[in-house]
């Protein structure tokens, strides 16, 4: 590498560090002590169940769960891998039918029986998935991903320049430069950039509910905080309900207004994060909490080797 290139790289890193410093660090949710139970109901479920039959094996992925998500709330659903979080999120999104149980949307039983009704439902609920690498159609350019969102929100008839301006705005919200992305394919970006583009998509669509299924679990640690930051910023700006699915109970504690703990398809505990974290009742919750590494305590190496 030439010296100029090295210098350039160093400068870039410096800039990134400065940017990270200037950023407000992830803090407790702004509405942490707000009582959301007074807010209108957004999405609720009673006895929601999903059973999979694979050959002779029957898996109960989600087992009679009840939940009430209120408008503007940030809900975390925490559970180990395989506990049924993704299955539940697919049912919430209307991508998978529950085998049993009722889901209500905006206080009324959810009706997504026809394509038109589904389309309307999806105006209100959108998602960010776990794996950014499989979230994009590799044959479509980034422009078409964003244009699709603009069309979907009903701005099909805007002029080319207006559409361009919208896309630029969305990209700059997530610290991407649209001019550099145009005519590129998603797979030319890094995982973190792809996930940011997903947030730009949500920025354009502005749904009432955002379902984020472990959006940071496949991302390198450096990009994680940035992405969380952007999500929280978007939520503060739009006031949307966020259903945040994670296996990281510490993270859930920091960001959410309400926590649901999921074990083997069941909600074993739910409530305010302070209550769940500080006075856990279910043994599973206790185990999850004890698994969080405690940076401030000395490492206990007596059990090693």
Partner 1 sequence: MKNILKSCLHSPRFMTGFILFIILLGIALFYPLFHPGNPLQMIGQNSFVEPGTYLSLYDANTVNLNGKTSTFIMDDAAVNRADSNISEADRQTMLAYLAAAGVDVSHLDTSHENLDSLVTLWQENYDSSKKVEGYTTSAKKRDLRTLNSRLLAALNAGEQTLLTKNGDEEVRTAVANNAYVRSNQVANVINLPLGTDNFGRDMMKELAAAIGTSLIIGLIAGTIATILGLVIGLLSGYLGGIVDDILMFVCNVFTVIPGFVLLILIYYSVGQEARGVTTCAIVIGITSWVWTARSVRSQVISLRNRDHVNLSKLSGHSLVRIIVTDILPYIASYVVMAFILQVSSGILAEAQLSLLGLGPKTTTTPTLGLMMNWAMLYNAHTQGYWWAYFPVIAVIALTSFSLNLMNTGLDQVFNPTLRD
Ligand X SMILES: Nc1ncnc2c1ncn2[C@@H]1O[C@H](COP(=O)(O)OP(=O)(O)O)[C@@H](O)[C@H]1O
Contact residue for partner 1 among 23, 140, 184, 294 (CB under 8 A) = 140
85 binds ligand X, rule: CB under 6 A: yes
Contact residue for ligand X among 86, 135, 208, 270 (CB under 6 A) = 86
Helix (H, G, I), strand (E, B) or coil at 135: coil
Nearer CB in complex with partner 1: 128/259 = 128
SS (H, E, C) 145-211: HHHHHHHHCCCCCCCHHHHHHHHHHHHHHCCCCHHHHCCCCHHHCCHHHHHHHHHHHHHHHCCCEEE
CB 64 within 8 A of CB 48: yes
Nearest to 191 by CA among 144, 129, 233: 129
Q: Which two tokens stand for residue 9?
A: 């790289």
Contact residue for partner 1 among 11, 134, 190, 290 (CB under 8 A) = 134
286 binds partner 1, rule: CB under 8 A: no
Q: Which two tokens stand for residue 274?
A: 């302070």
Which residues between 81 and 100 bind Mg ion (CB under 5 A)? 86
252 burial via Cβ count (<10 Å: 0-12, 13-18, 19+) = buried
**Cβ contacts of 26 within 8 Å, gap of 6 or more:** 225, 228, 229, 232, 254, 255
How many chain residues interact with ligand X (CB under 6 A)? 12
Residue 63 beta carbon to ligand X: minimum distance, rounded to whole angstroms: 10
Nearer CB in complex with ligand X: 88/227 = 88
Contact residue for partner 1 among 115, 297, 302, 303 (CB under 8 A) = 115
Nearer CB in complex with Mg ion: 76/86 = 86
Binding mask 87-106 for ligand X (x = CB under 6 A): x-------------------
Residue 55 beta carbon to ligand X: minimum distance, rounded to whole angstroms: 10
**126 contact, one of ligand X, partner 1, Mg ion, none, CB 5-8 Å limit per kind:** partner 1
157 binds ligand X, rule: CB under 6 A: no
**82 contact, one of Mg ion, ligand X, partner 1, none, CB 5-8 Å limit per kind:** ligand X
Contact residue for partner 1 among 36, 136, 267, 284 (CB under 8 A) = 136
Q: Which two tokens stand for residue 112?
A: 């997504």
Residue in the shown chain whose Cβ atom is closest to ligand X = 86
CB 241 within 8 A of CB 75: yes
DSSP string, 43-91: EEEEEEEEEEEETTEEEEEEEEEEEEEETT-EEEEEE-TTSSHHHHHHH
254 binds partner 1, rule: CB under 8 A: no
Nearest to 192 by CA among 164, 227, 159: 227
Token pair 């690498």 in the structure block, residue? 133
Name the site residues for partner 1 (rule: CB under 8 A): 90, 93, 95, 115, 118-119, 122-123, 125-127, 129-131, 134-140, 148-149, 152
Binding-site ranges for ligand X (CB under 6 A):
52, 54, 59, 61, 79, 81-87
């Amino acid at each position: 590498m030439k010296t100029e290139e090295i210098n350039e790289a160093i400068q870039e890193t410096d800039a990134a560090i400065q940017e990270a410093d200037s950023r407000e660090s992830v803090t407790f949710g702004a509405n942490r002590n707000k009582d959301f139970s007074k807010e209108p109901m957004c999405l609720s479920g009673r006895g929601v169940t999903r059973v999979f039959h694979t050959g002779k094996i029957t898996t109960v992925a989600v087992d009679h769960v009840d939940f009430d998500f209120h408008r503007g709330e940030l809900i975390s659903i925490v559970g180990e891998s395989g506990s049924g979080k993704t299955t539940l999120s697919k049912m919430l999104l209307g991508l998978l039918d529950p085998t049993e149980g009722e889901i209500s949307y905006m206080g009324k039983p959810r009706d997504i029986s026809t394509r038109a009704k589904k389309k309307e439902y999806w105006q209100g609920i959108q998602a960010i998935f776990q794996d950014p690498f499989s979230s994009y159609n590799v044959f479509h350019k980034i422009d078409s991903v964003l244009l699709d969102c603009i069309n979907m929100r009903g701005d099909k008839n805007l002029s080319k320049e207006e559409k361009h301006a919208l896309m630029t705005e969305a990209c700059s919200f997530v610290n991407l430069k649209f001019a550099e992305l145009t005519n590129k394919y998603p797979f030319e970006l890094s995982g973190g950039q792809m996930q940011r583009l997903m947030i730009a998509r949500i920025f354009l669509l502005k749904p009432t509910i955002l379902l984020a299924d472990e959006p940071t679990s496949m991302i390198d640690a450096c990009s994680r905080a940035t992405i969380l930051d952007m999500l929280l910023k978007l939520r503060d700006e739009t006031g949307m309900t966020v259903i945040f699915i994670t296996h990281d109970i510490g993270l859930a504690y920091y960001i959410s207004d309400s926590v649901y703990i999921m074990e083997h398809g069941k909600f074993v505990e739910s409530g305010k994060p302070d209550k769940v974290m500080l006075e856990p009742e279910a043994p599973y919750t206790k185990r999850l909490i004890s698994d969080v590494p405690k940076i401030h305590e000395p490492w206990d190496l007596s059990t090693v080797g």
